[in-house]
């Protein structure tokens, strides 16, 4: 009824039990001998077979939210399977004469049954209502062969956010999206007959609702400022952030700023920043909104317990950071184009689940951390832990999980590899203005994750686990281009073009904006520094001179090569000297210097070539009983010469990187 939430979906019924087989009939008795031979006994009848166990039902789906009952209902739990029937007893042989045999016992019923799947949670109605929780999977049946646990139900989707309202002064913000429902747990594996059952798979978390779009600001009355655009609503878990509203255009006052993009929910992508308001008169253009922060990935569900470990749920992926909005435009020579918004930061991936005994743990979500490896069972090789997740947009790669410890009869597990660093977010372009607007900054590439520690062992003669390899650094993104100048009518002289943005670490520099008439052109941005182990970005090309008495721009310097990542430490062994530290990463090569800009007028000077980037230092070797080797240094790059009728010298090449030190030896 009104104001009450929807009820949960019903649980599935359990499977029926198999019937016991019937008893076999007894054999007839042999006739007594008078003067001849005694009669032969009859054989006992065979017993009936036991009935098979019933299959478990699937849990019902939770009800979807309604206006009166906005929350989605929980999904029902999966049913448990029935037990199998036992076979009947064979009949006895007849008494008296020679010969009969007892009847055979019946066969037991089949027990290879799986628990029912949990039902899906219902969807939430709107921004304030979460989706229902998924039902839990049913337990696996006991006995003959495998009794596998059922899968956990998936969570319901969250409701979408509502759009913001319009305002003459300030626009309303969009509402937040609802959170997705939690995934159900996997069912436990059945108790063993000949082989034990597997644990059920953990359920996946539901998708979150999208955040609402922010309202646009309205145009101000004469002499008043325009309204500010509303912010986009935050996405629910798994949902995308709403797009920021645009700032209102100015009549005679200052243009309103646009709203920022909403932050992404867990696993969701952030909204893009709204564009800045255009300049309609004697005022500067609006600033572009910043991209929202990407949401964090949800953690993985745990596996069901079993004699052989169940499969773990996958960790959620971190959302990408939103793109920065464009700066507003202006067509007036004395006004400034709007500044481009910065790219949003990427979200962190979810943590990987730990595996059950001998089960392999899941890797971390992109940007998250790898789960620990399961402990090895007796007399078997232990599980390897999950690798670290790759970095999201601009995020740092996850650290590799620890190798499992040695519990007696097997060697310790290997450490996971560090995740790769993510790409940097793209910087927003500057607005075109009377003097070029400022560019948005490019996001830096993520750092590669550290290699995981190798597993330890206390058993003499066993080997400690090998340290994991360090992750590769992510490439930086390209810097935003500078805005163009408007070229004023005579006798107005245009202002210089804005300089191009520097590339994110590992990326290429943006190109400088072209200069206005009769002024010196802007220099382009330099190449970004290489990420860990990455190659430095090339310098951007200097602008070309197309106007008399206007010199060409200089080429940007090449970025320095990134340093190699450190090798992971080795696990301790039962005897000294077993295992070796991981090898240090290779230093990145320096980026090439940018070309100098050309000129087609002999009186003007062509641009100077940029300097070549310096090579990165090799990574340090991992620590262990035997230290890992240091990585080699990266090579320096040469600069490039300027171009044009009057050539200039190119930049000098960078120096080579220094090799990394060897790891410290164990005791």
Per the structure block, which two tokens stand in for 477? 């993104």
pLDDT for position 552: 56
Of 175-189, 255-269, 450-464, the poorest mean pLDDT is in 255-269
Q: How much is the pLDDT for 49?
A: 53
Whether residue 310 contacts residue 198, with contact meaning beta carbons closer than 8 Å, is answered with yes
When comparing pLDDT for 416 and 255, which is higher?
Answer: 416
From 16-20, 30-34, 476-480, the region with the lowest mean pLDDT: 476-480
Task: Identify which of 318, 542, 499, 528 has the alpha carbon closest to the alpha carbon of residue 426.
Answer: 528
Total residue count of the chain as it appears in this document: 667
- Report, in this order, helix, strand and coil percent for the chain, each rounded to 5: 0, 0, 100
Answer for the pair 417, 494: CB distance below 8 angstroms, yes or no.
no
Q: Is the pLDDT of residue 466 over 50?
A: yes
Q: Report, as an integer, the average pLDDT of 79-85.
A: 53
CA 631 from centroid of its chain's CA atoms: 29
Rounded (5°) CA angle 135-136-141: 135
State the average pLDDT over residues 115-135. Answer: 50
pTM (two decimals)? 0.37
Q: Return d(Cα 592, Cα 595) in angstroms, integer.
A: 9
Q: Between these two residues, 590 and 369, which has the higher pLDDT value?
A: 590
What band does 315 get if pLDDT is binned at 50, 70 and 90? very low
Is the pLDDT confidence value at 470 over 50?
no
- Looking at residue 648, its pLDDT comes to 40
Please give the average per-residue pLDDT across 386-391, as a whole number.
38
Q: For 325-382, give the secondary structure using H, E and C.
A: CCCCCCCCCCCECCCCCCCCCCCCCCCCCCCCCCCCCCCCCCCCCCCCCCCCCCCCCC
On average, the pLDDT of the chain sits at: 46
For range 215-232, the mean pLDDT: 49
Instruction: Report the distance separating Cα 50 and Cα 47, nearest Å.
Output: 9
Q: Give the per-residue pLDDT at 553.
A: 54
Which of 525, 537, 477 lies closest to 499, judged by CA?
A: 525
The pLDDT of residue 462 is 60
Q: Tens digits of per-residue pLDDT, 624-662?
A: 555 555 555 555 444 444 443 333 433 344 444 444 444
Q: 599 has which bridge partners?
A: 545
Residue 69: the pLDDT is 59
pLDDT in tens, 562-616: 444 444 444 444 333 334 444 444 444 445 555 555 565 566 666 555 555 555 5
Judge whether residue 299 has pLDDT over 50: no
Residue 41 reports pLDDT greater than 50: yes
How confident is the model over 328-337, as pLDDT tens digits? Answer: 555 554 555 5
Phi, psi of 228 (to 5 degrees): -85, 135
pLDDT in tens, 506-564: 333 333 433 333 223 333 333 433 333 334 444 444 445 554 445 555 555 544 444 44
């Amino acid at each position: 009824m009104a104001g009450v939430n929807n009820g949960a979906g019903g649980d599935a019924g359990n499977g029926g039990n198999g019937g016991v087989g019937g008893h076999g009939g007894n054999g007839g008795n042999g006739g007594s001998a008078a003067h001849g031979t005694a009669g032969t006994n009859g054989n006992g009848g065979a017993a009936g077979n036991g009935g098979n166990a019933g299959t478990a039902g699937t849990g019902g789906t939770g009800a979807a939210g309604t206006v009166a009952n906005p929350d989605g209902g929980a999904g029902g739990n999966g049913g448990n399977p029935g037990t199998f029937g036992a076979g009947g007893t064979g009949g006895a042989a007849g008494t008296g004469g020679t010969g009969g045999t007892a009847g055979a016992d019946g066969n037991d019923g089949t027990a290879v049954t799986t628990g029912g799947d949990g039902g899906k949670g219902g969807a939430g109605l709107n921004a304030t209502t979460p989706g229902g929780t998924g039902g839990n999977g049913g337990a696996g049946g006991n006995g003959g062969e495998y009794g596998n646990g059922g899968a956990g139900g998936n969570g319901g989707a969250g409701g979408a956010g509502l759009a913001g309202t319009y305002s003459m002064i300030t626009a309303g913000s969009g509402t937040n999206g609802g959170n997705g429902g939690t995934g159900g747990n996997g069912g436990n594996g059945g108790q063993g007959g000949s082989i034990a059952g597997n644990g059920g798979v953990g359920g996946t978390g539901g998708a979150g609702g999208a955040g609402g779009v922010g309202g646009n600001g309205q145009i101000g009355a004469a002499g008043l400022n325009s309204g500010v655009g509303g912010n986009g609503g935050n996405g629910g878990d798994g949902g995308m952030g709403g797009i920021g509203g645009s700032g209102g255009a100015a009549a005679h006052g200052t243009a309103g700023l646009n709203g920022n993009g909403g932050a992404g929910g867990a696993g969701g992508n952030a909204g893009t920043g709204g564009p800045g308001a255009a300049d309609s008169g004697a005022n500067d253009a609006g600033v572009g909104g910043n991209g929202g922060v990407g949401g964090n990935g949800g953690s993985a569900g745990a596996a069901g317990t079993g004699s052989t470990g169940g499969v773990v749920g996958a960790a959620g992926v971190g959302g990408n950071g939103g793109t920065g909005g464009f700066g507003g435009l202006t067509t007036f020579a004395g006004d400034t184009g709007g500044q481009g918004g910065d790219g949003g930061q990427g979200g962190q991936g979810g943590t990987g689940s730990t595996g059950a005994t001998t089960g392999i743990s899941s890797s971390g979500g992109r940007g998250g951390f790898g789960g620990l490896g399961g402990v090895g069972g007796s007399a078997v090789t232990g599980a390897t832990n999950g690798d670290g997740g790759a970095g999201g947009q601009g995020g740092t790669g996850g650290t590799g999980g620890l190798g499992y410890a040695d519990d007696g009869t097997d060697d310790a597990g290997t450490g996971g590899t560090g995740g790769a660093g993510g790409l940097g977010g793209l910087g927003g372009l500057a607005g075109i203005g009377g003097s070029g607007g400022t560019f948005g900054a490019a996001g830096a590439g993520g750092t590669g994750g550290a290699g995981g520690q190798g597993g330890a062992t206390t058993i003499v003669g066993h080997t400690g686990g090998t340290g994991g390899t360090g992750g590769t650094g992510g490439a930086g993104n390209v810097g935003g281009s500078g805005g163009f100048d408007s070229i004023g009518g005579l006798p107005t002289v245009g202002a210089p073009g804005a300089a191009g943005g520097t590339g994110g670490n590992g990326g290429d520099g943006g190109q400088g904006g072209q200069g206005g008439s009769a002024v010196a052109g802007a220099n382009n941005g330099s190449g970004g520094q290489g990420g860990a182990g990455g190659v430095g970005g090339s310098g951007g090309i200097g602008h070309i001179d197309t106007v008399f008495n206007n010199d060409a721009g200089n080429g940007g310097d090449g970025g320095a090569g990134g340093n190699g990542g450190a090798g992971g430490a080795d696990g301790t062994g039962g005897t000294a000297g077993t295992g070796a530290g991981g090898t240090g990463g290779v230093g990145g090569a320096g980026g090439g210097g940018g070309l100098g800009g050309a000129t087609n007028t002999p009186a003007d000077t062509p641009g100077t070539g940029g300097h070549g980037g310096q090579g990165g230092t090799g990574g340090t070797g991992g620590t262990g009983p035997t230290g890992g080797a240091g990585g080699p240094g990266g090579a320096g790059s040469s600069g490039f010469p300027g171009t044009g009728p009057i050539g200039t010298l190119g930049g000098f090449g960078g120096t080579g990187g220094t090799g990394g030190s060897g790891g410290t030896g164990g005791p």
